[in-house]
Amino acid sequence: MPIKDLVASLSDNPYFGAGAGLFGIGMFTALARKGTQMGMILFRRHCMMSLEVTSKDKSYYWLLNWISICGTHTQHLSVETSFSQSETGKINTTFDFVPSPGSHFFRHKSTWIRVERNREKQMVDFQRAAPFESVTLTAVGFNRSIYFDILEEARQLALQKQEGKTIMYTAMAAEWRPFGYPRRKRPIDSVVLDEGISERIINDVKEFTQNSKWYMDRGIPYRRGYLLYGPPGCGKSSYITALAGSLDYSICVLNLSEKGLSDDRLNHLLAVAPEQSIILLEDIDAAFLNRDLAKENPVAYSGMGRLTLSGLLNAMDGVASAEARIIFMTTNYLERLDPALIRPGRVDVKELIDHCTSYQLERMFQRFYPDEPESNAQMFSHKIHSLGKHVSAAQVQGLFLKHKDNPENALNDKNTAMFFNCDLCTVYYSSSNGVTVMGVMETGRGIYLQRRQALRRKGFVWHKAKSLSRLSEGGGNLSLSADNLSSWRPKSRK
Ligand SMILES: Nc1ncnc2c1ncn2[C@@H]1O[C@H](COP(=O)(O)OP(=O)(O)OP(=O)(O)O)[C@@H](O)[C@H]1O
């Protein structure tokens, strides 16, 4: 059959006509779809700009935070909870909402921007021990500055939160992560150390940070180690935090007795610590104390950290950076430290932060009660010394907090004795013609001795001081009458 006839017969066939029509429509739709896809790809490639920020990048959380505050009004949010516990034990929990994984749109300076937050299920960011994530911003046009603007705004927003604050970092797996919210900077003079100590440390740190060239020229590693040692509660940690604030540094706190801290991990952490930060190794003796206990009782301590002294020494020696690297260590037991750990080069400055001296007591009193005359500060210092007890600044702070609105109470013998839990004694004196109760109590050896001497001068003979009870238990009953003496017979002293 000639082709002409075949075409004529097919065109008369209604089934064929319908099939050809459907085929044509399908073809057209497929081509249109393909064309749109190609068009979109070409449009994206040539007319749109996108920016990908991965969770490994520092600006990742700044950006998410910025988007949730200034950008999208999406109803699909994820929560980021920050938890911090202050030294007083108070717990602060705050929720931040960030866009959840998926697509969101927002308008920035008359440009529509699409935000796509992706969470990879298959990939884990080992540094953060969390799924790998990324955020992609896409906008029409070629104006790159829009992304610079956004990143800059996000950065400023994040830094605003940190202004006047000290960021604390803690070690998470192999990286440093901010711990809780940045803390308000503590004024350095609010930590009252003994005369000259604070000035010595500040001058040394400043001299060090301003002399990088001196170190470079002589090929000396640009790092400096400080050791603050002394009894608990005397201000070692508080001082380091205040110092970091005054230098505008952050603090990287590392607990050497943490389970699973190996030599390699410590080495890595010290090498990647954020710039402009103080590395704080607290209670440095504790890490190796555990090791001794572990030797004695391997079962109880199995699985404890694998940090060795030589690992710590090597890690400290390896700390090198173009930036000034400052390491602070604290301990309550200097004598427990290995001499190799505190030799010059590892520890360049050692300072004893001890119990309160008169200088500190007076200054603390004046800081807490600025309207009180200086003579009261001196009286307070005298009273505390006469208790015959070593008191830490933390204890003194506690006493002031208890009587924060009433300095008279902080100066009261009974209150101070009660607060510092002094052993109370009833003191019996006799005159030559019989027992007379004179010295009712002593709040400490200092006061007691003074009274004794005064009484002796008046001709009284001291018989015995009998420890009755702690004042806190005794309810502060200071007066004695003859009845109290009935069960007690003083031995006369020849
Ligand atoms: N010298 C000081 N001046 C003012 N406050 C102080 C001083 N020392 C301690 N404090 C207060 O006492 C509390 C505990 O202090 P901090 O933790 O700094 O002591 P520490 O010496 O580091 O103790 P530890 O050895 O137990 O870690 C803080 O609230 C701090 O404000």
φ, ψ of residue 174 in degrees (nearest 5): -105, 10
pLDDT tier for residue 457 given thresholds of 50, 70 and 90: low
255 lines ligand 1 (CB under 6 A): no
Q: Is the pLDDT of residue 261 over 70?
A: yes
ipTM of the prediction: 0.96
Shortest-distance atom of ligand 1 to CA 240: 18
Homologous superfamily (CATH) of 183-352 is P-loop containing nucleotide triphosphate hydrolases (3.40.50.300)
Q: Is the pLDDT of residue 127 over 60?
A: no
Average pLDDT of span 118-135: 68
Q: What is the pLDDT of residues 185-204, one digit of tens each?
A: 889 999 999 999 999 999 99
The percent of residues in the chain predicted with pLDDT above 70, rounded, is 73
DSSP summary character for residue 176: E
In this predicted structure, which of 58-72, 148-162, 260-274, 350-364 has the lowest mean pLDDT? 58-72
pLDDT of residue 427: 47
233 lines ligand 1 (CB under 6 A): yes
Domain boundaries, the chain: 3-47, 49-162, 183-352, 423-494
397 lines ligand 1 (CB under 6 A): yes
Shortest-distance atom of ligand 1 to CA 282: 27
pTM above 0.80, yes or no: no
Q: Residue 132: count other Cβ atoms within 10 Å of its Cβ.
A: 17
In this predicted structure, which of 232-241, 315-324, 399-408, 471-480 has the lowest mean pLDDT? 471-480
φ, ψ of residue 2 in degrees (nearest 5): -60, 155
Q: How far apart are CA 140 and CA 136, in angstroms?
A: 13
Q: What is the pLDDT of residues 309-336, one digit of tens each?
A: 888 888 888 766 556 789 999 998 888 8
Contact in structure between 277 and 251 (CB atoms under 8 Å): yes
Q: Is the pLDDT of residue 153 over 80?
A: yes
| Distance in angstroms between the alpha carbons of the first and the last residue of the chain | 154
Q: Is the pLDDT of residue 290 over 80?
A: no
354 lines ligand 1 (CB under 6 A): no
Distance in Å, CA 284 to ligand 1 centroid: 17
Minimal-distance CA residue to ligand 1 atom 13: 394
Please tell me whether residue 73 adopts helix, strand or coil conformation: coil
Distance of CA 387 to the CA centre of its chain: 35
